[in-house]
Amino acid sequence: MNQSAWELFWTSLGPIVHGAIAGTIPLALASFAIGITLALGLALMRLSRRRWVSGIARVYISIVRGTPLLVQLFVIFYGLPSLGILIDPWPSAVVAFSLNVGGYAAEVIRAAILSVPKGQWEAAYMIGMSHRRALTRIILPQAARVSVPPLSNTFISLVKDTSLASLILVTELFREAQQVAAFSQEFMLLYLEAALVYWVICLGLSSIQSVLEKRLDRYVAH
Amino acid sequence: MSPTDPTDPTDSTDRDAASAPGALLRVRGLRKSFGPNQVLQSVDLAVGRGHVLALIGPSGSGKTTILRCLNGLELADGGTIDVAAEVSLDFGTPPSKKQLAALRDRSAMVFQHYNLFPHKTVLENVLEGPVVVQRRPKAEVEAEALALLDRVGLSAKKDSYPFELSGGQQQRVGIVRALALRPQLLLFDEPTSSLDPELVGDILRLIKELAVEGWSMVIVTHELEFAREVATEVAFVDGGRIVEHGDPKQMLRNPKEERTRQFLHRLLFPF
Ligand SMILES: Nc1ncnc2c1ncn2[C@@H]1O[C@H](COP(=O)(O)OP(=O)(O)OP(=O)(O)O)[C@@H](O)[C@H]1O
Ligand SMILES: [Mg+2]
């Protein structure tokens, strides 16, 4: 790489990292928090004995998983205005990503709840717990342990998927890179630079993931 | 540490106490099906205060299902369960949650596979029921729990997690967890059958001590020698019925029913 390429690399790192810190990361965090809450509700609905309750959750999950995220994003940002519903880019992105995470994480959480041995429910009932209390104090803590690895992967995917928000004009990592690229005409350099920053973020997240798994492992034999 | 309503152990020679009107537990005509499979045909049994009923019988005969119905973990399809004067359930009509909770409150179960809570320490396992569910004062319950753990030789392990304990230690925690609930009736489902042979004796000795102290219990077991020595009454379960019941010393040596005879023979001479 020549001198000016290096210079461009360093000067563009500023806006790109700013895009990550002010756009990508908060977008991912907010969507993940809302999405997981939604997912827990959907997972419990899926496990409900009432047919229609689990049916609603099943249909929702099927739609979210059976349609492209980009299309979901466009429906909310470009589609809803024709029904008179105008949402700004940022909230549109949060809504779309949350709904999406909700659908995917629901199946993870449902599987984790089902993976807790039946004997745990029975011991909880035996000591006099109600269904709700058994769920919150005995089952969910154990399910949480099981779902950390898959949910971490969901989060890492989400971080990368937020690059799609650049298409609805959200100022985030990739959109910053695109703008510098358009201005400087150095497409290869800027897109590789964006890729590098995503990669570094994901490496960081992976190491947080393994620390988290070790801590949650403390009550499990190996 | 004694049951909430201890009885005079001197009356334990009274074999008829179980069928007397004052029995602690009385079950009549209990029925249970899983789909087309009728697992309990019509079970009648009674346990007097301070008495020990041993259930024996072949695999799949319904012993565990009986205990689970007594603890309200399984909903019987028909029949009645009465505990002392306080709980009286007729399963002809499905009981309410409240009635089921009242039934469950009376008894505590010790499971074959312990079923300790793996994410809680030994002490937390014991406190969970009395403190969180029964809302008794934590300091009081903790003192009681520590005394119980000390008694079974586990006070040093109070902050350990279940996976750090041997099977025998886990089962002792399981027993302490049950005792801490202060039930009127203890239910044991093959408490020693997942243990290494050299650990079985410790657990049986502990259960025997509890029996001597006057705890009322129903215990499913394949340990005939234990049943003979500790039980007040033994019942042979086969095909979802009580085929024969009576004094353990007599019945185990000289059963009346052919099926009981065959079962005991198989247990004594497995090959
Ligand atoms: N939840 C269930 N659903 C369907 N069938 C069941 C269920 N629980 C028990 N059964 C069936 O009921 C029958 C009696 O089971 P149970 O566990 O009470 O037998 P058991 O006498 O305790 O046997 P073991 O000595 O092997 O423990 C068995 O045929 C079993 O397959
Ligand atoms: Mg059984």
Average the pLDDT over A183-204 and give the result.
Answer: 95
Could you give the number of structural domains in chain B? 1
User: What residue spans define the domains of chain A?
Assistant: 3-219
A3-219 belongs to CATH 1.10.3720.10:
yes
- Ligand with smallest separation from the Cα of B58: 1
- Asked, for residue B174, whether it belongs to a domain, the answer is yes
Residue nearest to atom 16 of ligand 1 (CA): B62
- Asked, for residue B69, whether it belongs to a domain, the answer is no
Q: DSSP character for B240? A: T
b/e B91-126 (16+ beta carbons within 10 angstroms → b): beeebeeeebbbbbbbbbbbbbbbbbbbbbbbbbbb
- Asked if the C-beta of B135 comes within 8 angstroms of chain A's C-beta atoms, the answer is no
Is the CB of residue B63 below 6 angstroms from any atom belonging to ligand 1? yes
- Asked, for residue B54, whether it belongs to a domain, the answer is no
φ, ψ for residue B28, nearest 5 deg: -135, 130
CB contact under 8 A, A219 and B119: yes
pLDDT by residue for chain B (271 residues), tens only, comes to 444 444 444 444 344 444 455 789 999 999 999 999 999 999 999 999 999 999 999 999 999 999 999 999 999 999 999 999 889 999 999 999 899 999 999 999 999 999 999 999 999 999 999 999 999 999 999 999 999 999 999 999 999 999 999 999 999 999 999 999 999 999 999 999 989 988 899 999 999 999 999 999 999 999 999 999 999 999 999 999 999 999 999 999 889 999 999 999 988 888 8
Alpha helix ranges (H) inside chain A: 3-19, 25-46, 51-66, 69-74, 89-115, 118-126, 131-133, 140-161, 173-184, 187-216
Question: What burial class does residue A210 get, using C-beta atoms within 10 Å of its C-beta: 0-12 exposed, 13-18 middle, 19+ buried?
Answer: exposed
Q: Which H or E element spans position B81? A: strand B78-83
- Ligand 1 centroid–CA B64 distance in Å is 7
- Asked, for residue B137, whether it belongs to a domain, the answer is yes
What whole-number distance in Å separates Cα of residue A188 and Cα of residue A3?
16
CB contact under 8 A, B177 and A127: yes
CB contact under 8 A, A128 and B101: yes
Residue B243 C-alpha, separation from nearest chain A C-alpha, in angstroms: 28
Share of chain A above pLDDT 70, in %: 97
Q: Which structural domain, as residue segments, surrounds residue B146?
A: 114-182
Q: Which of A115, A125, A126, A130 to mutate to test the interface with B (most CBs of B within 10 A)?
A: A126
- Over the Cα atoms of chain B, what is R_g? 18
List A residues 117-136 in contact with B (Cβ-Cβ < 8 A).
117, 119-120, 122-130, 133
Residue pairs between chains A and B whose CB atoms are closer than 8 Å: 64
